[in-house]
Amino acid sequence: MNIVTLKPSKEKSLLRRHPWVYANAIDRVEGKPAAGATVVVRAHDGRFLARAAYSPHSQIRARVWSFDENEPIDHAFFKRRVQRAVAHRDAMVSGTGAVRLIFGEADGLPGLIVDRYVEDGGSGRGQLVCQFMAAGVEAWKDAIVGALTAATGCPNVYERSDVSIREKEGLEQITGLLAGDEPPGTIVTSENGVRYHVDVRNGHKTGFYVDQRDNRALVQTFARERDVLNCFCYTGGFSLAALKGGAKRVVSIDSSGDALATAQKNVEANGFDAARAAWLDADAFKTLRRLHEEGERFDLVVLDPPKFAASREHVDRAARAYKDINLTGLKLLRPGGLLFTYSCSGAIDADLFQKIVAGAAADARVDARILKRLGAGVDHPLLTAFPEGEYLKGLLLQIA
């Protein structure tokens, strides 16, 4: 048996059911656990705390599978966890062809992300796309894939484990087919009455920003007869939602020509008037400042940038970047205008993000009020003991 014994008093977080064990909390390791091997975690006095996946290369040295001493970690364990996660989504999410089926620690499967895409008007079985981001789920990959196909009835599973966090786990970045047929060039799926082309093999994340579904619906609700600016638009998620909601004009900015080409295909797929949509292949920071200098004004602005802070070492630089875009975004709004602003940087917590935006509002000399705090949908649940899971933070602001 592989046993990890913690230093005195280092069991407190596990007693609160936090699912990570850091390397500096460990006193000793008995046995020679390989990457992904199951270990028993004990307090310094020998008390059982958890069964966990061992990761010898990561500062997160163990990720908890179970706090139940009597629950073995075997194929049946993964079958139960996957079935439970899929059942929760089937019960709680409807009206969309893109769903997060498994969200890592929140579903008791740390390091695993699984999204399901169903073709618009298709059979309903769809395409599963997985990211295995930790040594534990990597070691149990075959069991997890088998559990996924059984629980969903979907035979097609594609891997997008091309994420840098794998390198911290001592794993290579990889992509490829895990089960069934190769995915098509794009999958056309629908969400809130809008059709989107999704490239699961080459697109960002698993091909689409599933986590912003509820926020796109909110933009759709508020877009009618408004001039809309969408920065870092990628394939046009918020832009399409605004057009569906009846926006007068939508200006979208992204630095990827390929993403913008897909966005324009999305306009055609929905039969929207292309004259209402302008696509700018440009740097968002520079373009925001240029639009302000040229006297452009909008009724609704969306700021959904990529992750600015990959770790806590980058927080100060990221804070300056978030303040920069929010400052200019606020200046571009007409009186009564709405700002949808987001951070997906896990190292920037919700309180800090609000302080950054408040500082931007002060410097912009506008009175801004928070109408709503924003986050991911119900298919991205958060463990009360694991605040690190709340990577997506957002605010809906209105200026006077």
Residue 228 near residue 249, CB atoms below 8 Å: yes
Write the DSSP string, 214-229. Answer: HHHHHHHHH-TT-EEE
The region that residue 123 occupies, defined by phi over 0 for left and psi between -120 and 50 for alpha, beta otherwise, is alpha
* Other Cβ atoms closer than 10 A to 352: 18
Residue 125: pLDDT over 80: no
Question: Residue 32 phi/psi, 5° resolution?
Answer: -130, 70
Residue 123 has pLDDT above 90, yes or no: no
* pLDDT higher than threshold 80 for residue 313: no
pLDDT category, 258, cuts 50, 70, 90?
very high
Given 130, 154, 233, 344, the catalytic residue: 344
**Residue 179: what pLDDT?**
98
pLDDT of residue 124: 55
**Residue-range domains of the chain with CATH:** 3-66 (2.30.130.10), 75-187 (3.30.750.80), 209-399 (3.40.50.150)
Which two structure tokens, joined as six digits, stand for 321? 């970047």
- Measure the CA angle with vertex 218, ends 117 and 350; round to 5°: 90
Please state, rounded to an integer, the average pLDDT across all residues of the chain. Answer: 96
Q: What pLDDT, on the 0 to 100 scale, is given for residue 122?
A: 63
What distance in Å separates the CA atoms of residue 199 and residue 396, rounded to the nearest whole number?
29
pLDDT at 352 over 70: yes
Per-residue pLDDT band for 268 (boundaries 50, 70, 90) equals: very high
Q: In whole angstroms, what is the distance from residue 100 CA to residue 168 CA?
A: 24
Query: What gap in Å lies between CA 224 and CA 335, rounded to an integer?
Result: 16
Q: Is 344 known to be catalytic?
A: yes
Structure confidence at residue 311 (pLDDT) = 74
Examine the pLDDT at 173 and tell me if it is beyond 60.
yes
Phi and psi angles of residue 298, each rounded to the nearest 5 degrees, phi first = -135, 160
Is 400 strand, coil or helix? coil
160, 129 contact by CB (below 8 A): yes
CA distance 21 to 59: 9
Closest CA to 229 of 208, 253, 213, 212: 253
Burial class of residue 156 in the structure, from the number of CB atoms within 10 Å of its CB (0-12 exposed, 13-18 middle, 19+ buried):
buried
C-beta separation of 158 from 183 below 8 A: yes
* DSSP per residue, 7-62: PTTTTHHHHTT--EEEGGGEEEEES-PPTT-EEEEE-TTS-EEEEEEE-TTSSEEE
- Yes or no: say if 332 and 395 are a contact pair by the CB < 8 Å rule: no
For 295-311, the pLDDT digits (tens) are: 999 999 999 998 887 77
Helices (H), 177-296: 213-222, 237-244, 257-270, 284-293
pLDDT value at 346 more than 90: no
Read off the pTM: 0.94
What sign for the dihedral angle of Cα 107, 113, 119, 120?
positive
What's the whole-number mean pLDDT along residues 29-43? Answer: 97
* Range 84-107 average pLDDT: 96
Query: For 182-228, what is each residue's pLDDT tens digit?
Result: 999 999 999 999 999 999 999 999 999 999 999 999 999 999 999 99
Stated length of the chain: 400
